[in-house]
Chain A
Amino acid sequence: MTTAPVKEATHDERAAGCGQDELLEIALGPHHPSTHGVFRMDVVLDGERVVKLKPVFGYLHRNHEKIAESASYLASMPYTDRLDYICSLTNNWAYALAVEKLAGLQVPERAEYIRVITAELTRLVNHTATIGFLTQEMGASGTPLMYAFREREKILDLFESLTGSRMMCNYMRFGGCRVELPAGWLEQTKKVVEEFPRFLDEYEQLLTGNEIFMARAQGVGILKKDLAIDAGVTGPMLRASGVNYDIRKVDKYGIYDRFDFKIPLGEHGDVYDRYMVRMLEMRESLKILHQALRDLPQGPLMDPKAKIRGFRPKPGEAYGRIEAPKGELGFYLISDGSPNPYRYRVRPPSLINLTVLEDMCRGYSIADTIVIFGTVDIVLGEVDR
């Protein structure tokens, strides 16, 4: 019995059929230079187009919440530094805010001002670093990131002289701040704040009108307004999609109702808008800093009722949230009257902003995926906790 010879496909037939039903699955990460740490994306590709994208995380799960439940309230403060390790001071603030709500502590005015100053400096640090990494991922290796880190170092010097540490500041306490400003700190900060717009101008000149940057960024990774709201996206990501929602304006936590600043909004919700919103936000942060540095009052730094030792809040629950540079950072605490929280939960902006990654990337090429991922602005310490 003979079988009929199998007809060999010609080159043209093979070429026409190529990519029709053959999908390529690749794993990006966890060791990948542009995944901002240890993050994996399982991507299904049709040619170069992304068909499916599955984020895989947990590579940096450090048991933050579980450790906090067996440690005292104060002992969790240094751990919050390591959540989003680029902006430790805003993490401190969110946690301090939740505990202050739980224990009913009042923060003195001077401490509130210092919190605003440090938080807005942190926002500058975060946004410069994010944009630097974003351009690095677009292939502009070196220059913009070097510029960003040059400015970052100036602010880190301020943090170091204030708190003793460059990155892990551990500065805020329940009912105030830990230490008084060192001599000359205000003048130094004013100098940095005054010089910062020059860097922003330089940076904008380098990037905003740059043809390659615009080609890579405009119309890429569009996040629709409705989807952004439905998915619970917050921060610059949400505002770039045109939703006017900033917790500094909505909640007016701390003393943010005293400052005059605007909320930059995007129109298209693409990569370029997310970049622009961050650039404009830095200018607004500088406005807040100018006002806060001008109005900083004298006075005590800590609520006299606040206890460091034997701190046991009454049974109850509290949710404290702030506008962290990446979005809404919240801490949910349940107290049962013991020295440690009964339940300690972090609402990380990075993780929740990451949930829309597949919707933003579908249909774009694999190179765009990296850029879109860069604008989500995640830190794995916060995603995995």
Chain B
Amino acid sequence: MDQKLRIELSKQGIVTTTLEELYNWGRKNSVWPMTFGLACCAIEMIATSMARYDLARFGAEVFRPSPRQADLIIVSGTVTKKMAPQVVRLYNQMAEPKYVIAMGACAISGGPFKQGYNVLKGIDRYIPVDVHIPGCPPRPEALIDAFMTLQKKIDQQTLTGEGRPRHLDPEAPSEFVVPRFGAHDLEPPNNPEVFRILNNIDSRNPGEVDAGGD
């Protein structure tokens, strides 16, 4: 729709919108995270949802303990090899559309504990991450910034066409393989599907907000 006409109409009290905009506007302002804390970053996540930083301003104060009711999983802390299967299983149990924020150095890459024998070197080996927040732990402002980045990303998702997000693509997988303990390490060591998905989204939408693949 022509932008000038739209402004002209809005001056006369007529609001025009598209289904896509309305749908994304509603979704982006009610992202419900899961009550899911792993380590140190979880304390900062709780602090973010408290009065001083007030995550409620972004419509995300409703922390749901059940993955079935949550839209967003904030992987807040070190993922160990004992915990990785549970994290992937929780992600699989969430209903589409679902988003992931990897909070803190540990969730991104293993962080200071990377050299440990029991620490997973980044949760993006198993599930697709939408926003990475560096920091150890990231400040609450950084988490809020990640929320706003995620909101921008949700706002730009199209409902139809080639660039449509994963949850509208019947071909795309919504569940990922849950790693198991093998003879030496977790098996499989990573899920190549995750990287394929992220790369596909990138190639379909050149120049759009990055899908967190880097």
Is B86 a contact partner of A31 (Cβ separation < 8 A)? yes
* Given A150-B52, A167-B137, A380-B39, CB of A30 within 8 Å of CB of B83: yes
Closest 4 pairs (CB-CB, A-B): A63-B116, A85-B40, A149-B50, A33-B65
Number of interface residues of A (CB under 8 A): 32
B59-85 residues with Cβ-Cβ distance < 8 A to A are 65, 77-78, 80, 82-83
Is B39 a contact partner of A78 (Cβ separation < 8 A)? no
Q: Which of A33, A59, A86, A150 contacts B43 (CB 8 A)?
A: A86
Query: Is A104 interfacial (CB-CB < 8 Å)?
Result: no
Is B44 a contact partner of A167 (Cβ separation < 8 A)? yes
Query: Is B172 interfacial (CB-CB < 8 Å)?
Result: no
Q: Mark A58-72, 1 if CB is under 8 A from B, else 0.
A: 111111001100100
**Cα distance A71–B103 in the bound complex, in angstroms:** 26
With A60-B78, A62-B119 given, can you name 18 additional A-B contacts, CB distance below 8 Å?
A37-B38, A37-B39, A38-B38, A60-B38, A61-B82, A62-B116, A63-B117, A66-B116, A66-B117, A85-B137, A86-B43, A146-B51, A149-B51, A153-B47, A153-B50, A167-B137, A168-B136, A168-B137
Query: Is A166 interfacial (CB-CB < 8 Å)?
Result: yes
Q: Mark B106-150, 1 if CB is under 8 A from A, else 0.
A: 000000110111110000000000000000110100000000000
Query: Is A82 interfacial (CB-CB < 8 Å)?
Result: yes
Query: Is A381 interfacial (CB-CB < 8 Å)?
Result: yes
Query: Is B165 interfacial (CB-CB < 8 Å)?
Result: no
Q: B100 to chain A: closest CB distance in Å?
A: 15
* Given A38-B38, A85-B40, CB of A31 within 8 Å of CB of B113: no
Q: Which of A33, A62, A153 contacts B113 (CB 8 A)?
A: A62
**Chain A residue, CB-CB nearest to B110:** A62
Max chain B Cβ within 10 angstroms of own Cβ: one of A31, A67, A150, A381: A31
Is B83 a contact partner of A145 (Cβ separation < 8 A)? no
Hey, which bits of chain A sit against chain B, CB under 8 A?
30-33, 37-38, 58-63, 66-67, 70, 78-79, 82, 85-86, 129, 145-146, 149-150, 152-153, 166-168, 380-381
**Cα distance A60–B86 in the bound complex, in angstroms:** 12
By a CB distance below 8 angstroms, the chain B residues around A79 are: 112
- Interface class of chain B by DSSP: loop
By a CB distance below 8 angstroms, the chain B residues around A30 are: 83, 86
Is A61 a contact partner of B80 (Cβ separation < 8 A)? yes
By a CB distance below 8 angstroms, the chain A residues around B52 are: 149-150, 153
* Given A63-B119, A150-B51, CB of A33 within 8 Å of CB of B35: yes
**Cα distance A146–B38 in the bound complex, in angstroms:** 21
By a CB distance below 8 angstroms, the chain B residues around A153 are: 47, 50, 52
Query: Is B90 interfacial (CB-CB < 8 Å)?
Result: yes
**Cα distance A32–B37 in the bound complex, in angstroms:** 9
**Chain A residue, CB-CB nearest to B63:** A33
**Cα distance A37–B82 in the bound complex, in angstroms:** 14
Is A60 a contact partner of B47 (Cβ separation < 8 A)? no
Q: B122 to chain A: closest CB distance in Å?
A: 15
Query: Is B7 interfacial (CB-CB < 8 Å)?
Result: no
Query: Is B46 interfacial (CB-CB < 8 Å)?
Result: yes
**Chain B residue, CB-CB nearest to A384:** B80
* Given A61-B118, A166-B139, CB of A82 within 8 Å of CB of B51: no
Is A85 a contact partner of B43 (Cβ separation < 8 A)? yes
Is A67 a contact partner of B50 (Cβ separation < 8 A)? no
Q: A191 to chain B: closest CB distance in Å?
A: 18
Q: Which of B42, B65, B136 contacts A37 (CB 8 A)?
A: B42
B86-112 residues with Cβ-Cβ distance < 8 A to A are 86, 90, 112
Is A67 a contact partner of B113 (Cβ separation < 8 A)? yes
By a CB distance below 8 angstroms, the chain A residues around B32 are: none
By a CB distance below 8 angstroms, the chain B residues around A33 are: 35, 65
* Given A33-B35, A63-B116, A153-B52, CB of A58 within 8 Å of CB of B82: yes
Q: Which of A58, A59, A82, A150 contacts B40 (CB 8 A)?
A: A82
Can you pick out 13 interface pairs between chain A and chain B where the beta carbons lie within 8 Å of each other? A37-B39, A38-B39, A38-B83, A59-B82, A63-B119, A67-B115, A85-B40, A150-B50, A152-B47, A167-B44, A167-B137, A168-B137, A381-B39
